[in-house]
Amino acid sequence: MTHPPVVHIDPGPRLSEATVCGDRMYLSGMIPEDTSADIAGQVRQVLAEIDALLARGGSDKSKILSAQVWLSDIGDFAAMNAVWDAWVVPGQTPARATVQAALSEPAMKVEIMVVAAI
Amino acid sequence: MSIKRINVGARMSSAVVHGNTVYLAGITADDAKADVKGQTKQILDKIDKFLKEAGSDKSKVLSANIWLTDISTWSQMNEVWDAWVSPGNTPARATVEAKLAAPGLKVEIMVQAAL
């Protein structure tokens, strides 16, 4: 069985920002650059990073298949959803799960990881 | 390759099919008053339904993420899970404790399956 090559987007010593294989791409968990922002601001930053990475892989948000959302406080669920709902493409929403988890930095409120078709 | 979405909502879809893979959303129980076993049963019934709609079934589940609000309920969840899975065709699985989105929810399960 032959496979298409794996393309790494911004490969680092620890992880790549995204990997592309055939007609699918896998993004790393995206986190906000500016953790002084409130939950809405942090979600907006994360979604903008996702948009940019999807574009580099030849995809876009209408092709997201699956998403995992981690919130450091599940009490931010509604505030996260308000930004998320305005961002997703109507009729083309991904399968999604959201749970609370402690993230890698205390000020970080949200992390989102997606898989998309290309 | 086309994308087929099942039970499309404004926020998310219940399942998304691409190629020979179906991705399900994190599924929770409709009746959050049920205990862990009852909630797990409800969830697995919903997963069966969405897999069927996608053209798959539980013997083709590749990977599963399970979140429990209380990890000490692990064996109760497993009792229902073990009776549900297809013998010889059990998926890769991970289970951790996490707070879930709505009060009363005790279990959430997210799977990927082949078609």
- A43-91 pLDDT, tens digit each: 999 999 999 999 999 999 999 999 999 999 999 999 999 999 999 999 9
Q: In the beta sheet, which residues pair with residue B63?
A: B92, B112
Decide if pLDDT at B18 tops 80: yes
Q: Which of B88, B65, B76, B37 is nearest to A69 (CA)?
A: B65
Would an 8 Å CB–CB cutoff place B95 in contact with chain A? no
Instruction: Determine the structural domain holding residue B27 and report its residue range.
Output: 3-114
In a domain, A31, yes or no: yes
3-state secondary structure B29-94: CCCCCCCHHHHHHHHHHHHHHHHHHHCCCHHHEEEEEEEECCHHHHHHHHHHHHHHCCCCCCCEEE
H/E element holding A56?
Answer: helix A39-56
- Give the total number of structural domains in chain A: 1
In a domain, A104, yes or no: yes
CATH number at residue B35: 3.30.1330.40
pLDDT reported for residue A1 = 61
Radius of gyration of chain B (CA): 14
What 3-state class would DSSP assign to B26?
Answer: coil
- A78-110 pLDDT, tens digit each: 999 999 999 999 999 999 999 999 999 999 999
Q: What DSSP character marks residue A61?
A: G
In a domain, A1, yes or no: no
Would an 8 Å CB–CB cutoff place B101 in contact with chain A? yes
- Rounded to 10 degrees, the C-alpha dihedral B42/B43/B49/B51 comes to -160
Decide if pLDDT at A2 tops 90: no
CATH number at residue A16: 3.30.1330.40
- Give the total number of structural domains in chain B: 1
pLDDT reported for residue B67 = 98
CA–CA min distance B79, chain A (Å): 23
Look up the pTM and report it: 0.96
Instruction: Determine the structural domain holding residue A34 and report its residue range.
Output: 6-117
Residues 6+ apart with CB under 8 A from A77: A71, A98, B101
Question: What mean pLDDT do residues B3-15 have?
Answer: 98
Which residue in the set A85, A115, A117 is minimally distant from B10, CB to CB? A85
Which residue in the set B1, B25, B99 is minimally distant from A74, CB to CB? B99
Burial class (CB in 10 A: 0-12, 13-18, 19+), B10: exposed
Query: B16 to chain A: which residues are within 8 Å by CB?
Result: 65-66, 94-95
Residue B100 and residue A74: Cβ atoms within 8 Å? yes
What's the pLDDT band for A3 if we cut at 50, 70, 90?
Answer: confident
What's the pLDDT band for B1 if we cut at 50, 70, 90?
Answer: confident
